[in-house]
Amino acid sequence: MIVWDNSHVEKPLKKLTATPPNITNPRLYKRRLWTVCTSAFALVVLTAVAAVLPAPYVVESPGPSLNVLGEYEGKDIVSVENRADGPSDGELRMTTVSVQGSPGYDIPLAGVMTAWFDRDRSIIPVEALYPDDADAEDNSLMNTVEMNGSQQEAIAAALTKQGVSYSTTTMVAGVRSDGGAANQLQPGDVVLEVNGQKIENVSAAGDAIGATARGEKVEVTVRRDGAEKSFALTPRYEGDRALLGIVLARGFEFPVKVNFALEGIGGPSAGMIFALAIYDEMTPGDLTGGKKIAGTGTINEQGAVGPIGGIRQKMIGARADGAEFFLAPGMNCEDVTGHIPEGLQVVRVDSLTEAIEAVEQIAQQGSIEGLATCG
């Protein structure tokens, strides 16, 4: 007996029809059509809202790097007056991070969602980086203050490394446009007296200003460009404490004049690279030996290198600009490990001395063998 297996035989298709389902129940069909249309419209509206609705997050992306041994808008980025050190064939690149979502510059939810799928970007809650009451001017002011402070500390660190002495002062580091000192005091002013009291440090200046009684002016004497100037300023009050809308910081008086030519870049993270550039300017020869070296890290006058934010993005930006070597703060090693771009060699540094030694070895050997790493 032959048994035919017809399971593989294609069965005829049902006749195609343009008749919608449930055509026998027009009301049900219209109700379903209405539901689909309403859902689609709601999705479009939600998408549009997400595109503009501000999100409480900051997105960090790789930013450009700058060779601090070179020029910016036609001016030397770092220069030491009366030092005729020749041009460098190599590079010391300060690195930056592009930030979206800072106070006054909200990022839409759609932007955050897009960044979520980009491994080169980081998403951070706003409150982790900024005070709750910070506004756009606060953010801009603090970025400027931190940048200026990093430059002053870098000069101090480079001079300390060479055994050159200097003195400390109390300095006006920033002035708000809506405070009592606006259009009167200037960043860089050295505070000498407040209400007749000689100022020895930042704390003393803040206390003297804050103790000014209501209805009285704050009498401030500063030194600006070598000359003394006095001002009678009207404060505002928080409780019983008088405020002038200024940021005070410890400043320095150096025996050398160092100029910086940078605009629109803030924060303290270029301190270590600035210190290397100043040291290079003040010592014979080319510290880099023609190599392309980038880095990041805060610095203090003793030469200690501190951690910064956005180091993953900074390594990516440095490599994109041609850097072959990168100096990273030791306290950032956890963020470095496993995220080093291909072709970039990273050295761990915890002090200006270690950074100088690393650059010197790279210049001479073109290798980081034997140097500390984040491995």
Lowest average pLDDT, out of 52-61, 142-151, 156-165, goes to 52-61
Q: What is the CATH number of the domain that holds 268?
A: 3.30.230
Question: What pTM was estimated for this model as a whole?
Answer: 0.81
Q: What is the pLDDT of residue 229?
A: 96
Are 328 and 367 within one domain? yes
pLDDT (0 to 100) of residue 296? 97
Query: Which range has highest mean pLDDT (14-23, 71-80, 101-110)?
Result: 71-80
Of 125-134, 209-218, 279-288, 343-352, where does mean pLDDT reach its minimum? 125-134
Domain holding 230: CATH number?
2.30.42.10
Percent of the residues in the chain that have a pLDDT greater than 70, as a whole number: 85
What pLDDT, on the 0 to 100 scale, is given for residue 282? 92
Q: Are residues 287 and 332 in the same domain?
A: yes
Count of alpha carbons within 13 angstroms of residue 226, beta-carbon side:
0
Residues 128 and 94 in one domain: yes
| pLDDT score of 13 | 44
Separation CA 170–CA 181 (nearest Å)? 16
Select from 200, 227, 253 the last residue of a domain.
253
Strand pairing partners for 246? 175
Supply the angle between the helices 352-365 and 271-282 in degrees, to the nearest 10.
Answer: 60
Torsion on CA atoms 107, 109, 111, 116, rounded to nearest 10: 120
pLDDT tens track for 46-91: 555 555 566 678 888 999 999 999 988 888 999 998 876 667 789 9
- What is the pLDDT confidence band of residue 27, given thresholds at 50, 70 and 90? low
Structural domain for 37, as ranges = 26-52
> What is the number of structural domains in the chain?
3
Helix (H, G, I), strand (E, B) or coil at 281: helix
Domain boundary among 220, 253, 286: 253
Contact 247, 174 (CB under 8 A): yes
Mean pLDDT of 188-195: 95
- What are the b/e assignments for 205-241, b being 16+ CB within 10 Å? bbebbbebeeeeebbbbbbeeeeeeebebebeeeeee
Cβ contact 327:272 at 8 Å = yes
71 with 180, same domain: the answer is no
Write the pLDDT tens digit of every residue in 334-343: 999 999 999 9
* Residue 347: CB atoms within 10 Å: 22
Q: Among 264-268, 280-284, 343-347, where is mean pLDDT lowest?
A: 264-268
At residue 158, the pLDDT reads 97
* DSSP states of 159-185: HHHTT---EEEEEEEEE-TTSTTTTTS
Q: Residue 97 is which amino acid?
A: V
